[in-house]
A and B are shown apart, each in its own frame.
Chain A
Amino acid sequence: MHDTVNIEATGVPMVFVASTEFVDAADAQARALGADPARVFVPHPIQDRTDDELRALADDAIDAIVIALTDN
């Protein structure tokens, strides 16, 4: 999340993608940093998935990712 906060501080929109395991940690980090960065979560797990499953996660996430980068 530091990367997102740092890059957003320069005026460049950013979204980070993480597995659902990270929802609470991300919220806590966000509060600690006084920020509310754009974030998209994909269903855990990641490591065990096949390539096709990972590509499917990407297909499901792309719309949310684009909205996070374009919606004001």
Chain B
Amino acid sequence: MVPDGLVAVVKRACPTCELVAPVLAQLRDQLTIYSQDDPTFPEGLGARDDTALDVSFALDVDTVPALIRVEDGHAVDRLVGWERSRWEKFTGVDDLGVGLPDWRPGCGSRTHDPEVVDARLVASVTPHLHARTVELGDAEDESEAMYARGWSDGLPLVPPTPERVARMCAGTTRHPSDVVAVVPPDLVECTVEKVAINAVMAGCLPEYLPLVLAALEAACTDEFNVHGLLATTWFSGPLVVVNGPIARAIGMNSGVNALGQGNRANATIGRALQLVIRNVGGGRPGEVDRATFGNPGKYTFCFAEDETGSPWESLAVERGLPAGTNSVTLFAAEGVRGVVDQLSREPESLARTYAACLRTVAHPKNIFVWDAMLVVSPEHGRVFRDVGWTKARLREELDALLLLPAEDIVRGASGIAEGMPEALCEPGTTLPKFRPGGLLIAHAGGGAGLFSAIIGGWASGAVGSEPVTREVRT
């Protein structure tokens, strides 16, 4: 308990504190002195040991020397640094520090040392961590130990020590025990803490955690149906597309190689989601995950949309969020397919390229059930920007181009048994390749390359998956 009256907080490793030692001596009768680093400083004045910094934190000391008036255990007034006139007024004592300069600035309090801040953070979060501890054997290599327990997606993991998990939990204001989502297939209530443990293993920084939390929430909605996505024999896994200023703030990649490797945020946010599904939800290949092939995006698939370079509104805005909102959009993605078009100068021609390629998603004769995402590159985006085509205009064009003649897509047409049932294919009619809302359009990629990307989706509808957008809360 800090005594009422005048309190001084100093540290030896502060030239101004050393300078005012004689002043503290002059004031000793009315002063309680706390030392942040060495209770033998100042000499002979009965300084109290605050190396644990409890008093310094309690009194909110930012700068030393601090001269604080305490009433009822609370700081009601203070001075920092040395300034004779103010100290004399504050203490009511004249002729302080004769021979000392009139004023000197103070130094940073030890409470702001990075190691101190970190240790305090860890100490404050740790009591709220309730996950079971796993004691590795003395003879265990910590990397092998995580593989051996089945926690890995095949790539190495960062060991989730309690300190790392505590730091990760500080990436959100949510409480570690908050339930984020019920995760299939085992239908487990997954807390912020459990997400944090897997986020540590994935290699995330704490500032990525809010995106992982939002991605998990989105994935576990009935609409996205991550359970069905996991259990399907189809190729797809969850893709996370990030919108909003947070993408740039955490250094995500929306440009060169945006869908590829090399960026920590892109790589680890997608991975953390998959690790939660694996470890918390219990969803693993060969068990509930029955994919015939899968695709490399099931290790991780996450990118930021390039909003500043885009000719259009963002994916999130198109899907109803206010501009500037941080969000993630989950899409049931298979692999990335390349589309080259280096000769189309007119938007109508480029739209026809897109339509011809989009038609082949899943199968050229299969319609309506399969979703897709078209990722337009900056160079292709320019074709539309130069003539003022909005995203809606492009959609209108694609919708028209993707109305397929029933005779072409019916089973047996073109000598291909696969296709749509006869009952749906009345001759003379046309049918849309994609269901309403089944084609997503985003903008990303490097500045060079007259290419765009098509990312096929999965089945939509009752047993399939619907893309879901979720706001990111920090």
Q: For A45, list chain B residues within 8 Å (CB).
A: none
Residues of A within 8 A of B136 (CB): 34
Interface check B145, CB cutoff 8 A: yes
Interface residues of A in 8-31 (CB under 8 A from B): 9, 29-31
Interface string of A30-45 (1 = CB under 8 A from B): 1111110000000000
Partner of A32 from the list B140, B148, B149 (CB cut-off 8 Å) is B140
A33 to B138, CA, bound (A): 7
Closest to B139 in A: A32
A14-B136 Cα distance, complex, nearest whole Å: 22
Asked whether A31 lies within 8 Å of B137 as measured between CB atoms, the reply is yes
Q: Smallest distance from the beta carbon of B395 to chain A beta carbons, Å?
A: 50
CB distance from B158 to the nearest CB of A (A): 18
Docked CA distance A31–B138 (Å): 8
Instruction: Please tell me the size bucket of the interface on A.
Output: under 10
The answer for the CA separation of A13 and B136 in the assembled complex, in Å, is: 22
Instruction: Using CB atoms, name the residue of chain B closest to A31.
Output: B137
B168 to chain A, nearest CB (A): 23
What distance in Å separates the Cβ of B111 from its nearest Cβ neighbour in chain A? 39
**Binary interface encoding of chain B residues 104-148 relative to chain A, with 1 for a CB under 8 A from any of its CBs, else 0:** 000000000000000000000000000000001111100001001
Distance of A8 from chain B, by nearest CB (Å) = 9
Residues 148 to 175 of chain B near chain A (Cβ within 8 Å)? 148-149
**Best-buried of A30, A32, A33 by chain B (most CB within 10 Å):** A33
Bound complex: CA A32 to CA B149 (Å) = 14
Q: Which residues of B contact A35 (CB under 8 A)?
A: 137, 148
Give complex CA distance A57, B445 in Å: 70
Chain A residues, Cβ within 8 Å of B145: 34
A53 CB to nearest B CB, Å: 35
Instruction: Please name all residues of chain A whose beta carbon is closer than 8 Å to the beta carbon of B140 when the two chains form the complex.
Output: 32-34
Option from A29, A30, A31, A34 in Cβ contact (under 8 Å) with B148: A34
Q: How far is the CB of A10 from chain B (nearest CB, A)?
A: 12
A30 to B135, CA, bound (A): 12
CB A6 to nearest CB in B, in angstroms, measures 11
Chain A residues with CB below 8 A from B148, complex form: 9, 34-35
Closest beta carbon of chain A to B92's beta carbon, Å: 66
Could you show 18 A-B contacts with beta carbons less than 8 Å apart?
Answer: A9-B148, A29-B139, A30-B137, A31-B137, A31-B138, A32-B137, A32-B138, A32-B139, A32-B140, A33-B137, A33-B139, A33-B140, A34-B136, A34-B140, A34-B145, A34-B148, A34-B149, A35-B148
Known: A30-B137, A34-B140. 5 other contacts (CB 8 A): A32-B138, A34-B136, A34-B148, A34-B149, A35-B148
Closest 3 CB pairs of A and B: A34-B137, A32-B139, A32-B137
